[in-house]
């Protein structure tokens, strides 16, 4: 492809808009930069929680929930089940939406589900060093990867015996921007 065909973008306020965006200098196409959607689950089995020790950055070596980016063409529930398989080789039965978190500093919206193992089988996937089930008092709180893992676990604990509840919500702005 010649240099003449490659688009060049400028960050300007397009007509009718109210914020600077990437706009193609040649054709005026607006390249929108939108937040990423993360899907994941707090997975319970026999009163214990499934956690994955990360084998990738960021936060390599820290514990997290099975979670990751939603892919094009999949529902959030499908994405949460896929992420559990990829990270923990676990098949899930999703109960309900647990929480919606807004992490504005990294432009993420996180949809976290309450789930259980479909069968008591799991193993580390390619993005995990190890996977294990933890009793509440044994969760490695000081070694959790992200603030939203703390929030999710606490929201799960608060709702674990409630069949009906409104999804919890939280934003990093509530914590001073973390």
Domains (ranges, CATH) in the chain?
1-33 (2.20.70), 36-175 (3.90.79.10)
pLDDT at residue 176, as a whole number: 53
pLDDT at residue 177, as a whole number: 43
Specify whether the CB–CB gap between 178 and 105 falls below 8 A.
yes
Return all residues near 29 (Cβ < 8 A) that are at least 6 apart: 7, 23
Q: What pairing do the DSSP bridges indicate for beta strands 48-54 and 36-45? A: antiparallel
Q: Is the pTM of this model over 0.85?
A: yes
Taking CA atoms, 55 is separated from 47, 49, 79, 84, in Å, by: 26, 19, 20, 15
Residue ranges of the chain whose pLDDT lies below 70: 1-4, 175-178
């Amino acid at each position: 492809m010649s240099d003449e065909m490659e688009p060049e973008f400028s960050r300007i306020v397009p007509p009718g808009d109210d914020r600077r965006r990437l706009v193609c200098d040649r054709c005026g196409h607006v390249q929108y930069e939108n937040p990423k959607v993360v899907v994941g689950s707090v997975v319970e089995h026999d009163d214990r929680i499934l956690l994955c020790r990360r084998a990738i950055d960021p936060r390599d070596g820290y514990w997290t929930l099975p979670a990751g980016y939603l892919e094009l063409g999949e529902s959030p529930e499908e994405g949460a089940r896929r992420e559990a398989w990829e990270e923990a080789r676990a098949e899930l039965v999703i109960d309900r939406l647990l929480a919606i978190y807004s992490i504005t500093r990294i432009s993420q919206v996180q949809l976290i589900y309450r789930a259980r193992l479909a069968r008591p089988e799991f193993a580390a996937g390619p993005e995990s060093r190890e996977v294990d089930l933890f009793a509440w008092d044994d969760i490695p709180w000081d070694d959790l990867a992200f603030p939203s893992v703390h929030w999710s676990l606490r929201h799960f604990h608060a709702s674990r015996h409630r069949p009906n509840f409104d999804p919890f919500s939280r934003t990093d702005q509530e914590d001073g921007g973390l």
